């Protein structure tokens, strides 16, 4: 990291400014003033239309099917034979749980460790089955968005709610005594169980399940149609994401950015706000001040104030480096798009190679410090070598087995979703699943043969390696990451190595002689565009939601403006088009908001992965 700082300081002498704003956090008064400025300069009436250049609707020169020899996931899955009956039998599992629940062990003394152990064994047996059912239903819904599959999730949620209501008070009572136990397992497990939440209103439980499914459906099915061809419409993956990564035309990028944020974010808005209100109601009934505090507790990094002070300081430590990177990239973009935006202010969000401007590495070729030593175009190389989707996964698996880790299981190959199906709606956002039953691990990726998916597959398979590691010898209650940030950091550590010059040389993708100082500096620039640029975005994702959960955002007058005030304050990124608080909800255009996935895990993982990487290098004697 020290080398990266020196490189970027040499590259640029610009200053990151949003009206020469200092690096410290804005006071609440200053933040409100920034919101007012955004409203005045970047807002527009609800009925106002944005005009584009006449040729802005020309089709981008990226064919979503332009990769070479892609093997269909159906063919791949059919090559692997697994027992079709070796899966979670939902009806049987619920029947077994119904019988077990009726036979809860008698509790005479909450301070007795033998009693606590018996009760815990009973509780975990039931909970494990419910977990397996939930994982199975979730995967089925995300890979086949139907009303029927959504109803199955809702019905299951209602079915197992009474068990939670029965056991949560008992777990909390046990915890009062076990927190001082010398038995570390009882102390830890009951401590975790006591932090659970449970709604006492069946109507709320059913509604939350319905809203959650609706939000996933909105994101998975939203489309943006061509301006002059309303019959040609595109989902976020693969078309719109790939367009943002490869297109250079300002207006075409603007069309895609505005279209997605309008079609997804605006539709998410009313559903998400109701959803958040119900979740907040639930956690408050369970003793939390807000959903923010419930999320923060998962990290086990102190109370909310201590945790937020820690992440605030981490961001401040990164900001000097980010400032130089931002200024350098802004200068290059100003040269590419003259008179399109203020070259001394925030960068429009659609110009950075990503729909959410969260990572900028797909603009690497436009900002290379040394054009004489361009990094390998991995996408073209993979296509030239006629890599199939299957080849991407086996290449990743080969890496893991080469370092003594696990091969993927037959169920992984037989039951994963490797490509976007044509016969149904799915949520394409890449994810890895541990169904928790008989080595059933799966990936859900709308894979294409390109550099980003090369990284993503290593990342997701890294999650699965972690699943396998703690499934071996660990009881159900401990089959989880140290915290959610550790899980992401392991995947990112692997992904970072997968695209490193050393690994690409080992794969035969790059000649060792080509790796000179200029090549390495260009590679470090790519890493900065991917990792350093990500930090402010990841921070704002939860900074904004924490404010929303704590009722510190005026929903009528600043619901969307607050998002952009924070993006400008912490990252120097502005909305690509005029926005309004009346209808827009741009945070909702990012998967993790409608899916209600906490994002501080990614912010912390962005730091942890370098610590993991350093540790691995030291083990290998490379310091």
Can you give the pLDDT at residue 620? 86
Distance CA 380, CA 385 (A): 9
Q: What is the DSSP string of 316-332?
A: HHHHHHHHHHHHHHHHH
Q: Which residues contact 464 (CB under 8 A, 6 or more apart)?
A: 408, 412, 432, 434, 441, 443
Do 504 and 545 have their domain in common?
A: no
What is the per-residue pLDDT across 425-449, written as a single tens digit (0 to 9) for each?
Answer: 999 999 999 999 999 999 999 999 9
488 is in an annotated binding site: yes
Which is more confident, 331 or 58?
A: 331
C-alpha distances out from residue 474 to 57, 159, 188, 299, 480, Å: 55, 28, 15, 20, 10
Can you give the pLDDT at residue 41? 61
Do 468 and 579 have their domain in common?
A: no
Task: Count the domains in the chain.
Answer: 2
Categorize the per-residue pLDDT at 81 as very low, low, confident or very high, splitting at 50, 70 and 90: confident
Statement: residue 22 has pLDDT above 60: no
Cα dihedral 282→283→284→289 (10° resolution):
-150
Least Cα distance to 313 among 539, 3, 483, 568 occurs for: 539
570 is in an annotated binding site: no
Residue 49 is assigned to a structural domain of this protein: no
Distance CA 326, CA 322 (A): 6
Distance CA 190, CA 212 (A): 28
Can you give the pLDDT at residue 40? 63
Can you give the pLDDT at residue 240? 97
Statement: residue 60 has pLDDT above 70: no
Least Cα distance to 496 among 416, 399, 419 occurs for: 399
Copy the structure tokens of residue 218. Answer: 């909105």
220: domain CATH number is 1.10.1370.10
Judged on CB neighbours under 10 Å (0-12, 13-18, 19+), 169 is exposed
- Residue 570 · residue 539 · CB < 8 Å: yes
Statement: residue 73 has pLDDT above 90: no
Do 338 and 276 have their domain in common?
A: yes
Among 73-82, 102-111, 304-313, which is the least confidently predicted range? 73-82
Categorize the per-residue pLDDT at 84 as very low, low, confident or very high, splitting at 50, 70 and 90: confident
Can you give the pLDDT at residue 62? 36
42 is in an annotated binding site: no
Can you give the pLDDT at residue 445? 98
Which is more confident, 356 or 5?
A: 356
Q: For helices 90-101 and 113-142, give the axis angle rounded to 10 degrees.
A: 160
Domain range for 586: 2-42+216-373+526-612
Can you give the pLDDT at residue 75? 53
Statement: residue 337 has pLDDT above 90: yes
557 is in an annotated binding site: no
H or E element, residue 539: helix 534-549
Residue 136 is assigned to a structural domain of this protein: no
Statement: residue 2 has pLDDT above 50: no
Residue spans of alpha helices (H) in 286-356: 291-297, 304-336
Strand 431-434 with 229-234, pairing: unpaired
| Count of CB atoms situated within 10 Å of the CB of 472 | 9
Can you give the pLDDT at residue 82? 83
C-alpha distances out from residue 80 to 418, 431, 432, Å: 14, 21, 19
**What is the pLDDT averaged over residues 302-306?**
96
Residue 450 is assigned to a structural domain of this protein: yes
Average confidence score pLDDT of the chain: 89
Place of tokens 């691995």: 616
Residue 387 is assigned to a structural domain of this protein: yes
Categorize the per-residue pLDDT at 12 as very low, low, confident or very high, splitting at 50, 70 and 90: very low
What's the distance, CA 622 to chain centroid?
A: 31
Can you give the pLDDT at residue 13? 28
Copy the structure tokens of residue 412. Answer: 């992984």
What is the per-residue pLDDT across 505-536, written as a single tens digit (0 to 9) for each?
Answer: 999 999 999 999 999 999 999 999 999 999 99
Do 467 and 413 have their domain in common?
A: yes
Do 320 and 405 have their domain in common?
A: no
Statement: residue 308 has pLDDT above 90: yes
261 is in an annotated binding site: no
Residue positions annotated with a catalytic role = 460, 592
What is the per-residue pLDDT across 180-219, written as a single tens digit (0 to 9) for each?
Answer: 999 999 999 999 999 889 999 999 999 999 999 999 999 9
Place of tokens 């939000």: 215
pTM > 0.85 = yes
Can you give the pLDDT at residue 281? 97
Least Cα distance to 442 among 456, 452, 453, 432 occurs for: 432
Categorize the per-residue pLDDT at 412 as very low, low, confident or very high, splitting at 50, 70 and 90: very high
Can you give the pLDDT at residue 576? 98
Among 13-22, 264-273, 390-399, which is the least confidently predicted range? 13-22
Statement: residue 165 has pLDDT above 50: yes
Do 383 and 355 have their domain in common?
A: no
Statement: residue 97 has pLDDT above 80: yes
Cα dihedral 370→373→379→382 (10° resolution):
-170
Three-class secondary structure assignment of 25-52? CCCHHHHHHHHHHHHHHHECCCCCCCCC
- Residue 260 · residue 234 · CB < 8 Å: no
Do 347 and 418 have their domain in common?
A: no
Residue 143 is assigned to a structural domain of this protein: no
Query: What sign results for the dihedral spanned by CA atoms 568, 574, 575, 581?
Result: positive
Do 401 and 353 have their domain in common?
A: no
Q: Which residues contact 439 (CB under 8 A, 6 or more apart)?
A: 409, 411, 468, 471
Q: Strands, E, within 199-289: which ranges?
A: 224-226, 229-234
Residue 55 is assigned to a structural domain of this protein: no
**What is the pLDDT averaged over residues 398-414?**
96
Do 221 and 363 have their domain in common?
A: yes
Q: Strands, E, within 293-397: which ranges?
A: 347-348
Can you give the pLDDT at residue 193? 93
Residue 563 is assigned to a structural domain of this protein: yes
- Residue 23 · residue 320 · CB < 8 Å: yes
Do 470 and 503 have their domain in common?
A: yes
Distance CA 152, CA 157 (A): 9
Can you give the pLDDT at residue 462? 95
Can you give the pLDDT at residue 70? 31
Do 327 and 440 have their domain in common?
A: no
Residue 567 is assigned to a structural domain of this protein: yes
Categorize the per-residue pLDDT at 127 as very low, low, confident or very high, splitting at 50, 70 and 90: very high
Do 499 and 603 have their domain in common?
A: no
């Amino acid at each position: 990291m020290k080398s990266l700082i020196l490189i970027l300081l040499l590259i640029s002498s610009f200053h990151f400014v949003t009206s020469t704003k200092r690096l410290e956090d804005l006071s609440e008064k200053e933040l409100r003033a920034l919101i007012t400025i955004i409203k005045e300069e970047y807002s527009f009436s609800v009925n106002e239309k944005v005009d584009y250049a006449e040729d802005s609707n020309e089709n981008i020169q990226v064919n979503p099917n332009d990769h070479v020899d892609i093997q269909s996931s159906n063919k791949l899955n059919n090559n692997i034979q697994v027992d079709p009956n070796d899966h979670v039998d939902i009806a049987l599992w619920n029947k077994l749980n119904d019988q077990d629940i009726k036979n809860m062990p008698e509790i005479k003394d909450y301070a007795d460790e033998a009693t606590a152990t018996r009760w815990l064994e009973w509780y975990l047996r039931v909970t494990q089955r419910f977990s397996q059912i939930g994982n199975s239903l979730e995967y089925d819904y995300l890979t086949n968005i139907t009303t029927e599959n959504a109803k199955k999730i809702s019905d299951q949620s209602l079915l197992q709610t009474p068990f939670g209501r029965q056991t949560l008070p008992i777990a909390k009572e046990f915890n009062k005594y076990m927190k001082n136990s010398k038995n570390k397992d009882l102390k830890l497990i009951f401590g975790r169980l006591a932090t659970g939440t449970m709604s006492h209103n069946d109507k709320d439980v059913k509604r939350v399940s319905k809203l959650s499914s609706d939000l996933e459906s909105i994101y998975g099915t939203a489309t943006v149609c061509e301006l002059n061809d309303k019959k040609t419409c595109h989902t976020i993956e693969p078309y719109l994401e790939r367009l943002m990564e490869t297109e250079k035309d300002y207006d075409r990028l603007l069309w895609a950015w505005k279209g997605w944020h309008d079609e997804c974010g605006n539709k998410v808005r009313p559903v998400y706000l109701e959803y958040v209100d119900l979740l907040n109601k639930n956690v408050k009934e369970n003793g939390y001040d807000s959903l923010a505090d419930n999320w923060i507790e998962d990290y086990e990094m102190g109370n909310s104030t201590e945790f937020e002070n820690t992440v605030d300081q981490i961001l401040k430590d990164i900001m000097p480096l980010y400032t130089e990177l931002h200024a350098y990239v802004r200068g290059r973009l100003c040269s590419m798009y003259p008179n399109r935006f203020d070259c001394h202010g925030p960068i429009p969000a659609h110009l950075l190679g990503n729909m959410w401007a969260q990572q900028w590495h797909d603009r690497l070729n436009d900002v290379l410090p040394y054009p004489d030593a361009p990094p390998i175009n991995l996408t073209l190389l993979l296509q030239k070598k006629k890599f199939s989707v299957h080849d991407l996964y086996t290449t990743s698996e080969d890496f893991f087995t080469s370092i003594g880790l696990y091969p993927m299981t037959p169920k992984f190959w037989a039951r994963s979703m490797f490509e976007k199906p044509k016969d149904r709606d799915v949520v394409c956002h890449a994810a890895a699943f541990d169904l928790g039953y008989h080595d059933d691990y799966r990936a859900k990726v709308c894979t294409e043969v390109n550099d980003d998916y090369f990284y993503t597959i290593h990342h997701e398979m890294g999650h699965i390696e972690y699943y396998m590691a703690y499934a071996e010898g660990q009881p159900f209650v401990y089959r989880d990451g140290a915290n959610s940030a550790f899980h992401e950091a392991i995947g990112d550590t692997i992904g970072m190595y997968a695209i490193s010059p050393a690994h690409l040389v080992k794969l035969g993708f790059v000649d060792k002689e080509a790796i000179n100082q200029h090549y390495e500096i260009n590679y470090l620039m790519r890493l900065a565009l991917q990792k350093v640029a990500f930090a402010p975005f990841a921070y704002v994702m939860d900074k904004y939601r924490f404010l929303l959960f704590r009722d510190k955002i005026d929903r009528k007058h600043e619901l969307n403006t607050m998002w952009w005030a924070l993006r400008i304050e912490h990252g120097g990124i502005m909305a690509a088009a005029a926005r309004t608080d009346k209808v827009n909800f741009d945070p909702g255009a990012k998967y993790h908001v409608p899916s209600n996935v906490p994002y501080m895990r990614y912010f912390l993982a962005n730091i942890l992965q370098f610590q993991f990487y350093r540790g691995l290098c030291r083990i290998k004697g490379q310091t």
